């Protein structure tokens, strides 16, 4: 998986009366990108259907840095990932494709869930390996500044 998850062009239906991307559609774009990332860790939509295991968002913190307007393109990238036995903590960042400025960030804490029991469970070992390999490969690219949920993971010592 690449750090750059998805590029989207802002369409009219996603804009509001201020002429820029509506708050709900920032989250929509982040969610589409998160699904791509989660699928690469075998815990997204494909896993939900096939294995009955997926993630549920428990908490989310979004920061809007600079507006994005109609017809402009944004790139959504992974800028941080960590996990414990049952939670994945990540931040996605949205950049204006042409002007390269940071438009928004979306930090998320999600729980790994067995859909057949509707209970939080520990990650399967293959998912941990996928996440750990991605983290190891990209650690130098991660930005840990101003993480809102950094104290939420329960790391074993």
99 in any annotated domain: yes
| Residue at 145 is within a domain | no
Q: For residue 63, tell me if it sits in a domain.
A: yes
Q: What is the CATH number of the domain that holds 78?
A: 3.10.129.10
pLDDT band of 101, cuts 50, 70, 90: very high
Q: Which residues pair with 102 in a beta bridge?
A: 95
Does 132 map to a domain? yes
For position 137, what pLDDT does the model report? 95
Quick one: pLDDT at residue 155? 79
Tally of domains in the chain: 1
In a domain? residue 154: no
Q: Within a domain: residue 155?
A: no
Residue 147 forms part of a structural domain: no
pLDDT of residue 19: 92
Q: Return d(Cα 15, Cα 23) in angstroms, integer.
A: 9
State if pTM tops 0.85: yes
**pLDDT at 156 > cutoff 90:** no
Q: pLDDT for 25-57, tens place per residue?
A: 999 999 999 999 999 999 999 999 999 999 999
Alpha-carbon distance of 48 to 41, in angstroms, equals: 12
Query: Is it the case that residue 133 has pLDDT exceeding 80?
Result: yes
Judged on CB neighbours under 10 Å (0-12, 13-18, 19+), 154 is exposed
Per-residue pLDDT tens for 2-20? 899 999 999 999 999 999 9
Residue 44, domain extent:
4-140
């Amino acid at each position: 998986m690449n750090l750059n998850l998805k590029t989207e062009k802002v369409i009219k239906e996603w804009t509001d009366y201020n002429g820029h991307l509506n708050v709900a559609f920032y989250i929509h774009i982040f969610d589409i990108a998160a699904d791509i990332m989660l699928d690469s860790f075998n815990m997204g939509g494909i896993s939900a259907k096939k294995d009955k295991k997926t993630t549920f968002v428990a908490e989310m913190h979004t920061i809007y840095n600079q507006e994005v307007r109609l017809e402009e393109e944004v790139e959504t990238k992974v800028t941080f990932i960590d996990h414990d036995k049952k939670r994945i903590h990540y931040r996605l960042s949205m950049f204006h494709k042409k002007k390269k400025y940071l438009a928004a960030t979306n930090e998320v804490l999600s729980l790994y869930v067995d859909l057949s029991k509707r209970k939080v469970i520990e990650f399967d070992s293959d998912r941990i390996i996928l996440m750990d390999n991605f983290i190891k490969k990209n650690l130098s690219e991660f930005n840990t500044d101003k993480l809102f949920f950094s104290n939420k993971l329960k790391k074993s010592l």
